[in-house]
Amino acid sequence: MSSKRFENKTIIVTGAAGGIGEAYARALAAEGANVVVADLADEKGKQVAADIGGLYVSTDVADEDSAKALAAATADAYGSIDGLVNNAAIYGGMKLDFLITVPWDYYKKFMSVNLDGALNVTRAVYRHMTNGGGAIVNQSSTAAWLYSGFYGLAKVGVNGLTQQLATELGGQNIRVNAIAPGPIDTEATRTTTPKEMVADIVNRLPLKRFGTPEDLVGMCLFLLSDEAGWITGQIFNVDGGQVIRS
């Protein structure tokens, strides 16, 4: 296998200013891709883009005009778009609350980013996938399969979106899949989930260790690559065995 699977390919990674998205952006650049870092965190995002020789586009995935501007800036810089990773989400520092008590304003904002954001950016980007097709990877979570309040509910939505969009876009040879990570050691997890809770979850994993962003990179790059050319509408757990479905 060539070590440069993404030479001459252009791939947008949302939420790539840090954490998992940053790991995807760095790995894609290392394999030759033109990487577009799209985030709200401008300072960190610009730094990541500068490090990997990519383009930074300040983007709010929940905003229609912003998503269109991201797609247009990418097409201006590189031409056709080949891949999109819908990774951005409100996660680091999110409110921990229940569905029945979370304030409506917060819930609606949260869903506009964590669920509709993936659809919004996909709607803006797919028209620019003019090089015979494309690949989209949505970031879900094992939280979709386990009770996890409105965070989990948004990821259930991401799974549904993945299946529906795979159906709608398959005729254009645009593949849409999702990765459902288990607990991953990012700054966002460290600041959002109480330590004891993480330790308990990790203890119950068959593979008894915290995941790292690098544990997810192989699946993400595989799904974006031509090797996955006949795979669409699927949700892949990468989770140390946290969820074993029968």
Active site residues: 151
Token pair of 97, please? Answer: 């609350």
The binder of ligand NAD chosen from 52, 67, 129, 184 (CB under 6 A): 184
The binder of ligand NAD chosen from 10, 19, 25, 37 (CB under 6 A): 19
The binder of ligand NAD chosen from 11, 12, 15, 177 (CB under 6 A): 15
How far apart are CB 106 and ligand NAD at their closest, in Å?
13
* Residues 103 to 132 in contact with ligand NAD, rule: CB under 6 A: 113, 117
Binding-site size for ligand NAD (CB under 6 A) equals 30
Strands, sheet with 134-139, edge to edge from the N-terminal-most edge strand: 55-58, 34-39, 10-14, 83-86, 134-139, 174-181, 235-238
Burial of 90 by CB count in 10 Å (0-12 exposed, 13-18 middle, 19+ buried)?
Answer: buried
Give yes or no for residue 183 binding ligand NAD (CB under 6 A). Answer: yes
**What is the Cβ-side half-sphere exposure of residue 159, based on CA atoms within 13 angstroms?**
17
Binding mask 43-82 for ligand NAD (x = CB under 6 A): ----------------xxxx--------------------
Alpha helices in the chain (DSSP H): 19-30, 42-52, 64-78, 104-114, 116-125, 149-169, 187-192, 195-203, 213-224
Token pair of 201, please? Answer: 């979850």
The binder of ligand NAD chosen from 177, 186, 232, 242 (CB under 6 A): 186
Interface contacts to ligand NAD, rule CB under 6 A: 14-15, 17-21, 39-41, 59-62, 87-92, 113, 117, 139, 141, 181, 183-184, 186, 188-189
